[in-house]
Amino acid sequence: MTLHPSRSLVLALTFVLTFVAPAVAQSSPCFEPNLGTDLLLSDDSVSPRQSLGFSFPFAGGNVTTIAVSSNGFVWLDNSTANACCNGDRAQFLAGG
């Protein structure tokens, strides 16, 4: 009994992939489940200042804290003012 050439190729590839191929090491997942500390922000709100744990050079000085908005803004200066969520773009850009 002879095999058709295309069937013998399939048989050969099946053998190679089944019996000869090296085992593939399982890799770690590409998703990091540790998303950090939940700031418990509601819509249009700003977190209390969070410590960076290091000094960060910014705008001619050093910053050690950060404030985070639920809208995606961050503040690296040490001011307590923010105009994140009142809708006044000029006031926001002026930093107050």
Q: What is the DSSP string of the chain?
A: ----HHHHHHHHHHHIIIIISPPPPPPPPSS-----------TT-BPPPEEEEEEEEETTEEEEEEEEBTTS-EE-SS-----SSSS-HHHHHTT-
Domain map (residue ranges) of the chain: 43-96
| pLDDT tens track for 44-67 | 788 888 888 898 888 788 888 888
What integer pLDDT is reported at residue 25 of this predicted model?
66
Residues near 59 by beta carbon (within 8 Å), at least 6 away in sequence: 76, 77
Whether pTM > 0.85 for this model: the answer is no
Contact 82, 46 (CB under 8 A): yes
Task: Grade residue 85 by pLDDT with cuts at 50, 70 and 90.
Answer: low
